[in-house]
Amino acid sequence: MTQPHILMCPPDFYGIEYEINAWMHRERPSDRAVAREQWLALQSLLIEAGARVSTMAPVAGLPDLVFTANAALIYRDRAILAHFRHPERQGEEALDEQWLAAGGFRVEQPPEGCFFEGAGDALFCGDTLFAGYRLRSDARGHQQIGARLGRRVIPLELVDPYYYHLDTCFCPLAPGQAIYYPAAFDQYAEAVLKELVPELIEVSRNEAQRFACNAVVVGRAVVTNTGCPELHRALAARGFQPRETPLDEFVKSGGSAKCLTLRLDGEDAASWRGEPAGVDAA
């Protein structure tokens, strides 16, 4: 198994400069020094867990560039770029494209005329792509991406503005196993999840608000924000090694551990990781 490889972007120009989700309030600014400390601690924890971390250069005027999860959806050596719903973040698209192309990925444009926010809204669990839509990404785009990759797509409607990206309320751990916050999904999406993911670990409202679902899985280590003791107990009971690190400065922007990372070699739970290259179904 190759070493997990994660993309991050230092928070030099991070801040709450606009309000594009329910968490962000310009009158609740982020402390740049504390944000830097928290970001560095997350990076160290991921390295300790066995990951290699690459970084992209931060850019003034793009405070949300730190949330690399949204840059693209990675599938083998392909990177399907994001097209952000909010103009405030669209300036990130060209930079993500440059970095991923230089990093050796075959970079692809998102489906024409659709909003698509990368791994923030599209997560593999086993061989299925679970895809959040309505608040940020479009359902139609997800279907087109599934067709392109030759993978089954399960669109999940997100109904709570606080859980606007799929990775704020759903986290695949392994094929057939995931963390989720039920109230973030419409009834149909919740039923589909229950049917397709046999082992769902349910997160309480309190811990969902601490971004418990926004976890980074590196082997058996699962890294979250602080304040998720119930989830950590549930993970430990299943043989995982839960780790916490404070990320409150990023919660002010509606993000936490997972949002600050992009898995360049594919999520641990994606079954295609184990397949030899070049066997694209399609």
Residues of this chain that bind ligand ARG (CB under 6 A): 20-21, 24, 64, 67, 69-70, 89, 120, 165, 167-168, 253-255, 259
Q: Which is nearer to ligand ARG, 89 or 142 (CB)?
A: 89
Please tell me the distance from the alpha carbon of residue 281 to that of residue 278, in angstroms, as a whole number.
Answer: 9
- Minimum Å gap between C-beta 78 and ligand ARG is 19
- Closer residue to ligand ARG, CB minimum distance, 60 or 198: 60
| Secondary structure (3-state) at 263 | strand
Cβ 67 to ligand ARG, closest distance in Å? 4
Residue 3 CB, shortest distance to ligand ARG, in Å, is 23
Residues 6+ apart with CB under 8 A from 44: none
What lies within 8 Å, CB to CB, of 55 at 6+ separation is 7, 8, 9, 10
Q: In what order do the strands lie in the sheet with 122-125?
A: 122-125, 128-133, 152-157
Q: Is residue 165 annotated as part of the catalytic site, yes or no?
A: yes
CB closer to ligand ARG, 88 vs 274:
88
Cβ burial of 3 (10 Å; 0-12, 13-18, 19+) is exposed
**Given the complex with ligand ARG, which of 176 and 261 has the nearer CB atom?**
261
**Which of 142, 165, 228, 232 does the annotation list as catalytic?**
165
In the complex with ligand ARG, which residue's Cβ is closer, 184 or 259? 259
Nearer to ligand ARG, 165 or 243 (CB): 165
Reduced to 3 states, what is the DSSP secondary structure of residue 68?
Answer: helix
Measured distance CA(14)–CA(96) in Å, rounded: 16
Question: How far apart are CB 241 and ligand ARG at their closest, in Å?
Answer: 23
- Tell me if 202 sits within 8 A of 186, measured CB to CB: no
* CB-closest chain residue to ligand ARG: 120
| CB 110, min distance to ligand ARG, A | 15
Block residue for tokens 């494209």: 97
Which H or E run includes 191? Answer: helix 187-196
Give least dist CB 153 to ligand ARG, A. Answer: 18
Q: Which of 200, 213, 136 is nearest to 170 (CA)?
A: 213
Q: Is residue 236 within a helix (H) or strand (E), and if so which, with residue range?
A: helix 229-237
| Tokens, residue 193 | 């999840």
Give the residue numbers annotated as catalytic, written as ranges. 165, 259
